């Protein structure tokens, strides 16, 4: 397929609407806006540019997760296939951009989130050694308490990757 995949960062501008057009596969739709910002050297301020308005559609399990997680005004990041929805209106042919979402999430640059798995992990086989991530997974399943360290930093406390400072070349700052 020659789909065009995009990632759009913006805000939800209407309440997500969930329905099932065929009675089996649920879909959640919402509209989002992404406004470009740039620094104006003349005024020494950030100024808004144009706003990109796009409809987002989420199918199946993503549909339920989105409808139960996001609301109007939430900052989100959407990744999916960019399409054009066209129809015949009173004033002739009309069209709007649409993203068939593969992933939708909160923009953590603008706040915090608490993630809960929508379905449980497969039961462990008898005698199986738990994965390093099981402590992290268990932390989300229990009541709030002390944080569980991320699995990347468990163990020796050493850096994840060795770095040879002799290989690092100094680069001038770009202004």
DSSP 115-146: ---SSPPPPPPTTPPPPTTHHHHHHHHS-S-S
Domain presence at residue 128: no
Number of domains the chain contains: 1
Residue 58 lies in a domain: yes
Confidence check: pLDDT of 56 > 60 = yes
What digits encode the pLDDT tens for the residues 57-85?
Answer: 999 999 999 999 999 999 999 999 999 99
- Ordered alpha helix ranges (H), the chain: 60-67, 134-141
Judge if pTM exceeds 0.75.
Answer: no
Share the mean pLDDT of the chain.
79
26 assigned to some structural domain: yes
Q: Does a structural domain hold residue 70? A: yes
Residue 154 has pLDDT above 90, yes or no: no
Opening angle at CA 84, ends 2 and 49, nearest 5: 105
Instruction: Find out whether 57 and 100 touch, Cβ atoms under 8 Å.
Output: yes
Taking every pair of Cα atoms in the chain, the longest distance, rounded to a whole number of angstroms, is: 68
Q: Which domain holds residue 85?
A: 4-111
pLDDT band at 162 (very low <50, low <70, confident <90, very high): low
CATH at 72 = 2.40.50.140
């Amino acid at each position: 397929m020659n789909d065009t995949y995009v990632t759009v960062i913006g805000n939800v501008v209407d309440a997500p609407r969930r329905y099932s057009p065929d009675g089996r596969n649920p879909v959640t739709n919402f509209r989002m806006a992404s406004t470009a910002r740039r620094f104006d050297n003349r005024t020494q301020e950030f100024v808004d540019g144009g706003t990109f308005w796009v409809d987002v559609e989420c199918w199946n399990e993503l549909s339920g997760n989105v409808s139960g997680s996001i609301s109007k005004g939430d900052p989100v990041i959407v990744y999916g296939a960019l399409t054009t929805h066209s129809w015949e209106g009173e004033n002739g042919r009309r069209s709007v951009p649409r993203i068939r979402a593969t992933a939708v999430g909160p923009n953590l640059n603008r706040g915090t989130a608490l993630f809960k798995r929508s379905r449980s992990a497969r039961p462990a086989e008898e005698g199986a050694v738990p994965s390093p991530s099981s402590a992290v997974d268990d932390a989300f399943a229990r009541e709030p308490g002390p944080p569980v360290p991320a699995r990347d930093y468990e163990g020796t406390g050493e850096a994840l990757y060795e770095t040879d400072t002799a290989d690092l070349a100094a680069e001038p700052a770009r202004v």
